[in-house]
Amino acid sequence: MVGQTEITLPELSRGFHLINSFIEKHLPDLPEKGLLNIFLHHTSAALAINENADPTVRADFESFFSKLVPEYDPVYKHVIEGPDDMPAHLKSSILGQSISIPIKGGKLHMGLWQGIYLCEFRDRPHRRKITLTVLS
C-alpha cells in the first residue's frame, strides 16, 4: 500500500529548522510497519536527520556549511540570483533532497535525539514543497 501527499512548509529563512511536528501533523494514520520517504522539491535547500535537543547544533551546522561553501567565491559562474544562490545549490547537493524513515508500531521509528531538518540555504525566506510517501 502506498499513500502520498504534498505539503508546503511555512516560510523559513536561512538556517536549520526542525520540522518533525509539521510533518507529523500532515501524515495519515501510519501502518504497523513501513517506510516514510520525504522528498523536497527544491535545489537550494535540503533535508537531514540529526540532533534535535541542543539548538547550538543548528548554529554549528550553519557555521560549518558557510565555511565549507562560502559566498562570493570568484569561481562561481551562476551568480545572477545573488551571492547565496550557487552556494545554496552546492550545499543542497551535499546533503540531498530525500530522506527515508522506518515506521514501526504505527509511528516514525527514529532515535531518541533525532530530528528532521529543513536546511534552508537562501537568505530570503522561502515556502518549500515536500512530498510525503508512506510505503507499507
CA distances from 99 to 18, 70, 95, 123, 124 (A): 14, 25, 10, 24, 24
What are the respective helix, strand and coil percentages of the chain, to the nearest 5? 25, 40, 40
The CA–CA distances, whole Å, from 12 to 3, 29, 58, 108 equal: 27, 27, 14, 24
pLDDT (mean) for 9-16: 96
For the domain with range 2-135, which CATH number is right: 2.60.120.460, 2.60.40.10, 3.40.190.10, 3.40.920.10? 2.60.120.460
Residues 50/64, Cβ–Cβ less than 8 Å: no
Residue 1 has a pLDDT of 65
Predicted confidence (pLDDT) per residue in 30-52, tens digit: 999 999 999 999 999 999 999 99
Q: What are the sequence ranges of the domains in the chain?
A: 2-135
> Does residue 116 register a pLDDT over 80?
yes
Tell me: the pLDDT tens digits for 58-76? 999 999 999 999 999 999 9
Q: DSSP assignment, residue 126?
A: B
Q: Is 77 exposed, middle or buried (0-12, 13-18, 19+ CB in 10 A)?
A: exposed
Max CA separation in the chain (angstroms)? 52
